[in-house]
Structure 1
Amino acid sequence: MGFNKTLSRFLTIASFYAVLTACSSNQPTVEPDLPEKEYFRLAQEALDNNLPTTAAEQLKELETRYPFGEYSIPARLDLIYAQFEAGNYAAAHATADRFIKNYPDNQALDYVYYMRGLSTYKGAESFLGRFLNLNPADRDTSEFDKSFSEFADFLRRFPESEFAPDAKARMVYLRNMIAEHEVAIAHYYFKRKAPLSALRRGQEVIQHYPSTPSVEEALAITIQAYMDLNLYDEAKQNLAILVNSYPESQYLDKEQKFIPFELPREADPDFLYWVSLGMID
């Protein structure tokens, strides 16, 4: 009787052990850590082969496994670039922000500030296609404003940086684009018989974007809006500014009288206004 109990206990233990062995054999094998230098080498190789997503994965592994290693700082700098090249602009911006916070005295800080602004800039560009079907008044340019501010912050800190000329050029482009967007919204409001709203958009361009090419059209918008609102004295004042500033304006006839304008009625121009930023009407 005792022998039977012993045999039964042995079989139970053996069966339980077999189950444990079978379960453990199904567990994924954990790869051992690579040397820090090898992670960095693999990332560089991926970048050289135009595989930024793979490079970013290797660099994040290095960052996780060797947060204070020899390659931790260059790896974080390369991670910004890899994420940017992979089109992951939000991640590149976040990595740049962390670097600025953690390494405020690093020699490459000008590059990081520049890449932060550039990531916002490219991220905003990539979202344009999502909003083509929205009314101009509903489209958001806040990310372009943010990019402009970040580039301005970069230039204030590093005016002699090698990246400064590109940042300045992008800021000019951003100002022009935002001004053109305001003009497009003004035309949208004219079409919907909302001259007061159109007036405010024209004034926005004149007051806040005075050096952009859109100012001439913005003046014409304010003149048209004042006329629609029966505010003829104000219309005459703005017409005088238009004549003085742009004597050859397309909105003036040969006698320098204002040429009223309105949107074409045969087609909805919303799509063209957006993709051309108001340059096609």
Structure 2
Amino acid sequence: MGFIKTLSRFLTIATIYSVLTACSSQPTVEPDLPEKEYFNKGQEALENNLASVAIKEFKDLETRYPFGDYVVRARLDLIYAEFKAANYISAHASAERFIKNYPNNNALDYAYYMRALSTYKGAETLSGRFLNLNPAERDASEFNKSFGEFADFLMRFPNSEYAPDAKARMLHLRNMIAQHELSIAHYYFERKASISALRRGQEVIQHYPSTPSVEEALAVTIQAYMNLDLYENAQTNLAILRNNFPNSRYLDNEQKFIPFELPREADPDTLYWVSLGLID
């Protein structure tokens, strides 16, 4: 009988200890603040350039009050906060969600604009990390994506207050992409891959005819045709260069083409020669 009482007392103490231990190990749950307070704290953080703090406040509001009075404005401000924090992928995703969830919102043009701008800034950041790569290995796909998103924005909201900035960025993007193509062309010239260089020059002429890079693109095609002994084609493009750019830096005083200074000793790309120039 005494053994049973002792065992019962031991089990009671063990149970109480287990409950107390479990309670002490549980994380402290912060009490919910009023919805407006989360929103105001997020706004204040943005005003003080504390983007990371603002992100937390807006996300807390979104989690605690998913159908609240301030959630739409908070989700819109979250896009900007993530952008300011240089979280461009997150800002793009938040803009995409806003577009999907609020297709009739009055600020929809802002969401479309920020979506494109996030891609643009993200591409700039990514590009800066790979400056030491040769031009052919640099990825310009994000710049093309940004251009397409700005174009989509302008098609939907041609009179938006953000339209002038979008147009200016699109012009800049076209120039960047065209210049990127020419950088690759010069890289191929160094590798004695004239067919590949020719393709890059033609790409600029055909798809980016209004950019300042067209003059150089014509020179690239002339040089490539000369390297390939296709002199008739070279003369055709030379005539175009003379007609459109009579004061071109690629023409001498007698309007003759000034050849590029190509390296005399350069190891051609093996795959290029094996495939007869069909593979860059």
The two structures share one fold, judged by TM-score above 0.5? yes
- 2:151 partner SS: helix
Which residue is 2:129 aligned to? 130
- 1:212 partner SS: coil
Distance in 1 (CA, whole Å) between partners of 2:25 and 2:148 is: 53
Please report how far the alpha carbon of residue 32 of structure 1 lies from its aligned counterpart in structure 2 after TM superposition.
1.2
Distance in 1 (CA, whole Å) between partners of 2:17 and 2:264 is: 81
Is the 2:35–2:70 Cα contact (8 Å) retained in structure 1? yes
- 1:127 partner SS: helix
Which residue is 2:39 aligned to? 40
| TM-score, L = length of structure 1 | 0.92
Tell me if 1:257 matches 2:260: no
| TM-score, L = length of structure 2 | 0.92
Which residue is 1:172 aligned to? 171
Is the 2:52–2:85 Cα contact (8 Å) retained in structure 1? yes
Distance in 1 (CA, whole Å) between partners of 2:163 and 2:84 is: 20
Which residue is 1:66 aligned to? 65
Cα 1:42–1:263, aligned 2, differ >3 Å: closer, same or farther? farther
Unpaired segments ≥5 residues, structure 1: 267-281
Which residue is 1:270 aligned to? none
* Amino acid in structure 2 at the alignment position of 1:132: L
Please report how far the alpha carbon of residue 152 of structure 1 lies from its aligned counterpart in structure 2 after TM superposition.
0.5
- Higher relative contact order structure (alpha carbons within 8 Å, sequence separation ≥ 6): 1
Distance in 1 (CA, whole Å) between partners of 2:226 and 2:260 is: 11
- 1:261 partner SS: coil
Distance in 1 (CA, whole Å) between partners of 2:67 and 2:18 is: 42
Please report how far the alpha carbon of residue 24 of structure 1 lies from its aligned counterpart in structure 2 after TM superposition.
1.9
Q: Which moved more, 1:18-27 or 1:120-129?
A: 18-27
Map 1:129-278 to 2 at 5 A: 129-263=128-262
* Amino acid in structure 1 at the alignment position of 2:88: Y
- 1:227 partner SS: helix
Distance in 2 (CA, whole Å) between partners of 1:186 and 1:25 is: 67
Which residue is 2:274 aligned to? none
Map 1:51-90 to 2 at 5 A: 51-90=50-89
RMSD, matched Cα? 1.3
Is the 1:187–1:263 Cα contact (8 Å) retained in structure 2? no
